[in-house]
Structure 1
Amino acid sequence: MNFSLSFYIGYRYWRARKANAFASFITIFAVSGILLGVAALIVVSSVMNGLEGQLKQRILGAVPQLTVHSEAPIDNWQQQVVKLTELPGVVGATASVSTQAMLQSPTNIGAAQVYGVYPEQEKNLLSATRNVYSGDFDTLVAGKYRIILGAELARMLDVAPGDKIRVLSGDGVVYTPLGPVPSQRKFTVVGIFEMGSQVDATLAYVHHDDAQRLMRQKAGEVKELRLYLDDPFNAAAIAPTVIKQFPTVVTTTDWRDTYGHLFGAVKMEKNMMSLMLSLIIAVAAFNIVSALVMMVVDKTTDVAVLKTQGLTTSNVMGIFLIQGSLNAVIGLLSGVAVGVLLTLNLNSITHFLGISILGAGQNLPVQLQLSQLTWIVVGTLVMTLVATIYPAIRAANVQPASALRYE
């Protein structure tokens, strides 16, 4: 195949497309459709990525990302923590203890998941420690029975730092002649954190040793280890490697057990939006088919003459493939440029237009990913190339004798 010849003729045909006004209109319509589809796909995908990243930070930064459970106490758990932090993808590990509890204030009662933490070890790992607006995690001291609540939970209980609440744990129940009695202690509220997500209404933190006393566990006995990962979405892949680090039988749980449905819904919504916008690109790409078919009909005589002069079938196919690809590339490059510019300036544009999507003073989360942009470009190129194959084959099958019979 003589590519340079096919490119030259295809380029000449592409420049002369205005000879057929209707075909020219369809081509402009197709290029505009590709431009709008690609731009919309880039903007929407970036916003959905930002939303997913925001949820990951606001929820998975406050809950255990991967937890190791053992039936028996873990021997030399400090050494195990050191080994685990050396694994790829693990940024930190510490002893863990948690319980589902009822929190009772003088005016209300609510349920929460209470985590026991070591503030000095988790201050740089737990995102909630950086979102405390009243108090500080350093005030969680063993034996003082202090607690830090989520903002929504504190509002529901109508408490503020300095108030006392009663914590009743479902673990460590004592059975008496009057029936089971839950373990309970009074805690002093010393801080309130706000992640801006549903965890604000369901989480509370106390010192690890105080949590063990509340649950009537043996002091210093560790049966759970909590791991922090550089990417929580890799928890399932890291779990088998973590299990192999223990000489005894252990099991693992991760954030998907409690919040997997939420992220699954976000992922499904992102995929459906991408599919819908991809259909716009597909419709625009196959409009190129209509324009090329009309061009093939218009240039049938020219093709027949070229074939009589020695132009091969592959050369003829190349002419119309190049002509359709040029239209696709123009629409694609324009769409990428418009989409990237809109994405990078989306919040400025909405503020200028006076549009508030999330409410006054809130910006849309935007995260433009190079890998996703690459897939959009490659997918659009493949889709448009497939759309040009049929007209190119039809042009290549032109029989010179039949086409020139009445010339």
Structure 2
Amino acid sequence: MNPVLSCFIGYRYWRARKSNAFASFITFFAVSGIFLGVAALIIVSSVMNGLEGQLKQRILGAVPQLTVHSEHPFSDWQNLAESLKTLPGVRGAAPSIATQAMVQSSENISAVQLYGIIPDADRQLSPIADHTFPEAYNALRSGSYKVLLGGELARRLNVSSGDKVRLLSGDGVVYSPLGPVPSQRTFVVAGVFDMGSQVDANVAYIHYADARRLMRKSPDAIQDLRLFLTDPFAAPQLTPKVEQLLAKQGLNVSASDWRDSYGHLFAAVKMEKNMMSLMLSLIIAVAAFNIVSALVMMVVDKTSDVAVLKTQGLGRVDIMLVFVFQGSLNALLGLVLGLALGITATEYINPLLNSVGISILGPGQLLPVIINHQQLLAIAIGTVVITLLATLYPALRAATVQPANALRYE
């Protein structure tokens, strides 16, 4: 076996492929297919990564990523929060409570997910403070009965800062002779926040103590801690670690994460991303079939050469390697060009779209892109594997050539 000689012969065949014009034509389209398929796969995957990253930041930044609940109040939640920060992936913890509620203005009424927070504990962890005015965020004080609404929710209710709304909580229901009566109280709108996602339409914030009062519970008791994570997608792996850490401190808690409320949304995004990648991968697969066609034609054209090489001592594996190497060169050429175009187009996609006057997300909004190097590696390896598999059949055909039959009429 002489792999160097086989690769050299394969390279010579690759350089001299213009001797068969039709085979060269098919090879050109095979390389172009791999080139365009790889480039499109990189661009679409990067854009989908960017959109998923924005959803993660805008939605999971505004809602609890991981929450621990205890049936009994925590005696010292500050020390508990410090111990939770020792877990890798946990940025911090702060008291929080959530309830389903209705918010009513003089013109409209809407369902809302109401969160009670302590601004001083949340300020360095939650992005809400960065998406509203500081005075509005700081106005959430115990006993002030002020509420921070999402921008879309405020527009739906037609309210602004200083207006009054009524909050009704189902958790504070009392039963009277006339039936169940929900807990309700008038709040003043402190301001609005705008995360640029669906949470703007169904989320509101009030002070933790005011939320407890609205739910007819002790305002000073801390039974829920909201954990802020470095990567919200790591919540399923962190949940058992958090429960084990608190169990060692003698606390019996239950944990829940963002998947209870928004898991279906991110599952849909992940499925869409996978389906887009699968469809674009089919372009590469079709291009690989073109490589098969081109190599089969090359084997037919070089049958006499293969027979001569066999008479000179090249074995079956050497002959196979000649055509595998030739087909791999086409694949590598398309792969390198596709990687170059895909990465360059992804880096400059927003200037390119602006130059031709295209705005996909609306005026003034840039298309988010995140280039994942692991995805690039997977695309490159997948392309090489598919094309290597495509070269096996023509190479096997070449290896089965019988020199006596091929050279009988030469």
Shorter chain as denominator, the TM-score bin is: over 0.9
- Spell out, residue by residue over 1:159-199, the C-alpha distance to the aligned partner (whole angstroms, 9 max, x if none): 11111111111112222333322222221111100111110
Match of 1:220 in 2: 220
The aligned counterpart of 1:347 is: 350
Residues 209-233 of structure 1: per-residue CA shift (max 9 Å, x gap) = 1111111111321221111111111
The alpha carbon displacement at 1:135 in A equals: 4.5
In 2, Cα distance between the equivalents of 1:135 and 1:333?
54
Which is further off, 383-392 or 167-176? 167-176
Q: Give yes or no for contact 2:140–2:146 (8 Å, CA) kept in 1.
A: yes
Q: What is the CA–CA distance in structure 2 between the aligned matches of 1:359 and 1:134, rounded to whole Å?
A: 28
TM-score of the pair, normalised by structure 2: 0.97
Deviation at 1:248, TM superposition (A): 3.5
Question: Which amino acid letter does the alignment assign opposite residue 282 of structure 1?
Answer: A
Which residue of structure 1 aligns with residue 241 of structure 2? 241
1:55 matched to 2:55: yes
Gaps of 5+ in 2: none
Distance 2:357 2:158 in 1: 36
One-letter amino acid matched to 1:11: Y
Query: 1:31 maps to which residue?
Result: 31
1:404 deviation in Å?
1.3
Q: 2:181 aligned with 1:181, yes or no?
A: yes
1:291 maps onto 2:294 in alignment: yes
1:249-305 CA-to-partner distances (Å, cap 9, x unmatched) read 322111111111111111111111100000000000121011011111111111111
Please state whether the residue corresponding to 1:245 is helix, strand or coil: helix
Q: RMSD in angstroms over aligned alpha carbons?
A: 1.3
What is the CA-CA distance between 1:134 and the residue it aligns to?
Answer: 8.1
Task: Report the Cα offset of residue 202 of structure 1.
Answer: 0.6
Which residue is 1:387 aligned to? 390
2:97 corresponds to: 97
5 Å-filtered alignment, 1:299-318, equals 299-318=302-321
Contact 2:171–2:183 (CA<8 Å) still a contact in 1? yes
Local SS of the residue matching 2:94: strand
Q: Contact 1:100 / 1:170 at 8 angstroms: preserved in 2?
A: yes
Q: SS of the residue aligned with 2:283?
A: helix
- Correspondence 1:362-373 to 2 at 5 A: 362-373=365-376
Residue 3 of structure 1 corresponds to 3
Partner of 2:151: 151
Could you report, residue by residue, the CA deviation over 1:143-173 in whole angstroms, capped at 9, with x for unpaired residues?
1111110011111111111111111111122
Distance 1:386 1:275 in 2: 18
Asked if the contact 1:47–1:366 (Cα under 8 Å) also holds between the matched residues in 2, the reply is yes
User: Which residue number corresponds to residue 398 of structure 1?
Assistant: 401
1:22 maps to 22
Could you tell me which amino acid in structure 2 is paired with residue 403 of structure 1?
A
Query: Which digits, 9 at most, give the CA deviation of each residue in 1:38-66, with x for residues without a partner?
Result: 01111111111111111111100000001
CA distance in 2, matches of 1:356, 1:179: 54
d(CA) in 2 for partners of 1:353, 1:56: 30
Structure 1: unaligned runs, 5 residues or longer: none
TM (norm. structure 1) is 0.97
| Paired position in structure 1 for 2:141 | 141
- In structure 1, distance between residues paired with 2:71 and 2:178: 30
Q: 2:256 aligned with 1:253, yes or no?
A: yes
Alignment check: 8 A CA contact 1:134 1:191 kept? no
8 A contact 2:117–2:206 mirrored in 1: yes
User: 1:71-220 to 2 correspondence within 5 Å?
Assistant: 71-133=71-133, 135-220=135-220
The share of aligned pairs that are identical, in percent, is: 63
Residue matched to 1:264: 267
Distance 2:153 2:110 in 1: 8
**C-alpha displacement of 1:13:** 0.4
Moved more, 180-189 or 304-313: 180-189
**Shift of the alpha carbon at 1:103?**
1.2
Counterpart of 2:330 in structure 1 is: 327
TM-superposed CA distance for 1:35, in Å, is 0.4
Q: What amino acid sits opposite 2:19 in the alignment?
A: A
